[in-house]
Amino acid sequence: MRLSQRVLRESESATMAVARRAGQLRAQGVKLFDLGAGEPSMPSPQSAVEGAVAALRAGHTRYTAVDGLADLRTSLAAAYSGTGAPWTGEGDVTVTVGAKSALVQAALALVDPGSEVVIPSPCWMTLQAQVRLAGGDPVAVPMSAAGGFELYAAPLLDAITDRTRAVVLNSPCNPTGAVMSQDELRLLVAECADRDVVVVSDETYGAFVYNSSPRTDDRPVAKPAGTSVADLAGEFPDTVLLVSAFSKAYAMTGWRVGYALGPQQLICAMRSLQTHTTSNATSFAMHGALAALKQEAAYRADHVRHCAANRELVGAILGDHPRLRYVPPRGAFYAFPRVHLNACAYGNSTVEIAAKLLDERQVVVVPGEAFGAPSHLRISFAGDSDELRQGLERFAAAL
Ligand SMILES: Cc1ncc(COP(=O)(O)O)c(C=O)c1O
């Protein structure tokens, strides 16, 4: 069979390779300590489950508007309205099949063959793959490892050329946990506005921001001020596209409900692409998401607190480990320590270390190679605290 060059160019991600091997071991009955999964282990909120079941019972099983339930769109616009954002839910919000779908639609809507999209690195590799699938060239801009991969505007702005259509920012970042500061975000957006470049802001982990100093006083904030492009949308309405989802904040990864808020022209183009691809997000899943959005602020805050406590656990076990350089993540739910490979007898690369940890210690972690950062390992702390502690202790002992 002759497959397209487009698809042949994209290899399976290293995340998937680890997940597949872990699946094989699980099928053999091996108990694993899973620090690899990029998703919370807790159940979705009860109100979401009941909302979806009630919607099914009430017969909400047909196509909806392509851009989703009107009530969900206006509620999403309202959720961001305190920031001065101009969004109303009419023509400037679209509900998609997860954040992933919104992001690929944005790429397809903005990119022509030969266009460039600037993306800080390390990053979640799907962001680069989506640009290539759209026929464009992702331009990876490395952030400094010594600074914990903190996100700065200047190197991103330096990478902009007259072929650049967008900067895709993922803050809080998977895998590094970096969060771009308010000042840097303003600098980036203001300059992009001048240069007619769209800032696509993937805020899938937007709920997960931890105060980093002093570390003992960490308090999760439900909707942290200054870390979202929503704060700048009033001033730069044609420049920012905010993408997010119910997946991580409400532990609803399998529901596949994401969304985008932004300029009407871009949202209209994305909606048009959705007409020809997925149509609407699943009708009853959107009803469940709407119930979660309206009723589950406390659930969300609890969930963030759980991750904040787990983050402390990671710091306590890995913080002073002699084979690691660990910078506490400011956001998301991943630790991304660097392994001192020259001082570590457990393996010559983080790919090898991750494979050995799985086979010998039953611990699942993802090698940094999957995110363009060799010598690092990604450790998810979104799951059960006890499993996390045991997995970390095994990991620390192995190294
Ligand atoms: C940075 C980032 N953006 C988007 C997504 C996809 O979110 P969704 O499951 O809502 O499509 C993920 C999933 O891991 C992610 O890490």
Choosing from 245, 260, 295, the residue where a domain stops is 295
Mean pLDDT value of segment 154-171: 98
Cα(246) to centroid(ligand 1), Å: 10
pLDDT one-digit tens code per residue, 169-216: 999 999 999 999 999 999 999 999 999 999 999 999 999 999 744 333
- The per-residue pLDDT for 15 is 67
Distant-in-sequence, close-in-space partners of 146: CB < 8 Å, separation ≥ 6: none
Q: Is 247's C-beta closer than 6 angstroms to any atom of ligand 1? A: yes
% pLDDT > 90, the chain: 86
304 & 347 share domain: yes
Residue nearest to atom 1 of ligand 1 (CA): 174
- The per-residue pLDDT for 82 is 76
20 & 156 share domain: no
82 & 180 share domain: yes
- Whether pTM > 0.85 for this model: the answer is yes
285 & 387 share domain: no
| CA-closest candidate to residue 249, choices 211, 283, 296, 281 | 296
Instruction: In whole angstroms, give the CA distance from residue 42 to residue 40.
Output: 6
The count of domains in the chain is: 2
Q: Is 172's C-beta closer than 6 angstroms to any atom of ligand 1? A: no
190 & 310 share domain: no
* CATH number of the domain enclosing 386: 3.90.1150.10
173 & 52 share domain: yes
Residue nearest to atom 2 of ligand 1 (CA): 204
- The per-residue pLDDT for 192 is 98
Residue nearest to atom 13 of ligand 1 (CA): 38
Residue 346, SS3 per DSSP = coil
pLDDT one-digit tens code per residue, 97-125: 999 999 999 999 999 999 999 999 999 99
320 & 218 share domain: no
Q: Is 34's C-beta closer than 6 angstroms to any atom of ligand 1? A: no
Choosing from 267, 295, 323, the residue where a domain stops is 295
Q: Is 13's C-beta closer than 6 angstroms to any atom of ligand 1? A: no
Cα(204) to centroid(ligand 1), Å: 6
For residue 323, give its domain range. 5-43+298-398
263 & 360 share domain: no
Choosing from 246, 267, 295, the residue where a domain stops is 295
Top mutation candidate among 13, 16, 121, 124 for ligand 1, by most atoms within 8 Å of CB: 124
- The per-residue pLDDT for 16 is 72
Does residue 13 carry a pLDDT above 80? no
* Token pair listed for 262: 């932004």
Cα(343) to centroid(ligand 1), Å: 34
Distant-in-sequence, close-in-space partners of 294: CB < 8 Å, separation ≥ 6: 47, 75
C-beta of residue 261 within 8 angstroms of C-beta of residue 106: no
Does residue 218 carry a pLDDT above 50? no
Of residues 8 and 308, the one with the higher pLDDT is 308
**Ligand 1 atom at shortest distance from the alpha carbon of 245:** 10
pLDDT one-digit tens code per residue, 270-295: 999 999 999 999 999 999 999 999 99
126 & 200 share domain: yes
| CA-closest candidate to residue 94, choices 277, 303, 253, 331 | 277
- The per-residue pLDDT for 20 is 86
- The per-residue pLDDT for 366 is 95
321 & 182 share domain: no
Cα(288) to centroid(ligand 1), Å: 19
Q: Residue 200 belongs to what H/E stretch? A: strand 198-202
Residue 261, SS3 per DSSP = strand
- The per-residue pLDDT for 212 is 45
pLDDT band with cut points at 50, 70 and 90 for residue 147: confident
- The per-residue pLDDT for 226 is 65
268 & 199 share domain: yes
Cα(371) to centroid(ligand 1), Å: 14
Cα(73) to centroid(ligand 1), Å: 20
% pLDDT > 70, the chain: 95
Alpha helix ranges (H) inside 112-234: 126-133, 153-158, 182-194, 230-233
Of residues 83 and 180, the one with the higher pLDDT is 180
* CATH number of the domain enclosing 61: 3.40.640.10
Cα(233) to centroid(ligand 1), Å: 22
Top mutation candidate among 127, 174, 179, 241 for ligand 1, by most atoms within 8 Å of CB: 174
* Token pair listed for 189: 């957006």
264 & 352 share domain: no
Top mutation candidate among 100, 125, 131, 253 for ligand 1, by most atoms within 8 Å of CB: 100
Q: Is 176's C-beta closer than 6 angstroms to any atom of ligand 1? A: no
Q: Is 100's C-beta closer than 6 angstroms to any atom of ligand 1? A: yes
Alpha helix ranges (H) inside 122-239: 126-133, 153-158, 182-194, 230-233
